[in-house]
Chain A
Amino acid sequence: GDSVTQMEGPVTLSEEAFLTINCTYTATGYPSLFWYVQYPGEGLQLLLKATKADDKGSNKGFEATYRKETTSFHLEKGSVQVSDSAVYFCALSDSGSARQLTFGSGTQLTVLP
């Protein structure tokens, strides 16, 4: 079945540091790929998405490129802020009617001032 493997955390960075969180996937067909963010005590929020190979999703300074050849969707940000501290989940959605989301295990990011 489909699966998502995500870089294990936790990750601790200083403010303005560069962030990379690795994500690779296994899927049949052509899934859509997502990054979700979960702030303490809140539900999941969609951060960015890419629906086909070579698409780049971007939002709030975060970027990720759908790489079919390496089955990867790594999350990057050039300069993190304290407010970026949260748990980040990589996910894929199959192309079936349910379009269920398959999530990675999450990466806890803490940004220190």
Chain B
Amino acid sequence: ETGVTQSPTHLIKTRGQQVTLRCSSQSGHNTVSWYQQALGQGPQFIFQYYREEENGRGNFPPRFSGLQFPNYSSELNVNALELDDSALYLCASRSSGGGSYNEQFFGPGTRLTVL
């Protein structure tokens, strides 16, 4: 069973640029969430996708957007990058339905540096 994978591992961009991060969910998982983890902080929820639709969003501006594909993989897009966007971006997948709790499995993350 393949776990959650993310690409790229590291990325350096300059302020104002756009970036796309990718995530492949764990086999059998249909729900993907994205989190931003600033240095020395806990992860913060950006949004979640289920059946290719966004079904939950945290306190992030519209320049953070995403997609989920039919194979349940996902992309996170950030436009007009700002210095404060420098962080580790974590993807998590889980299955939905059946039971009251479905564990989220996290990928290793993409480290984004904005100069």
Task: Mark each residue of chain B from 34 to 64: 1 if its CB lies under 8 Å from any CB of chain A, else 0.
Answer: 0100001111110010000001101000000
A72-93 interface (Cβ within 8 A of B): 89, 91, 93
B41 and A105 contacting across the interface, CB-CB below 8 Å: yes
Counting residue pairs across A and B whose Cβ atoms lie within 8 Å, the total is 58
- B42 contacts A106, CB within 8 Å? yes
The answer to whether A106 touches B56, judged by C-beta atoms less than 8 angstroms apart, is no
B101–A98 touching, CB < 8 Å: no
Whether, in the assembled complex, A42 has its beta carbon less than 8 Å from a beta carbon of chain B, the answer is yes
The total of chain B residues at the interface (CB under 8 A) is 25
B residues within 8 A CB of A46? 103-105
Q: In A19-54, which residues have CB < 8 Å from any B CB?
A: 32, 36, 41-46, 49, 51
User: B58 touching A45 by the CB < 8 A rule?
Assistant: no
Q: Is the CB–CB distance between A101 and B48 below 8 Å? A: no
A71 CB-CB contact with B under 8 Å: no
Which residues in A have their C-beta under 8 angstroms from that of B108? 41-43
23 residue pairs of the A-B complex, CB under 8 angstroms, read A4-B42, A43-B4, A43-B90, A43-B108, A43-B109, A44-B43, A44-B92, A46-B104, A46-B105, A49-B101, A51-B100, A89-B42, A91-B42, A96-B56, A98-B56, A100-B33, A100-B48, A100-B56, A101-B33, A102-B45, A105-B41, A106-B40, A106-B42
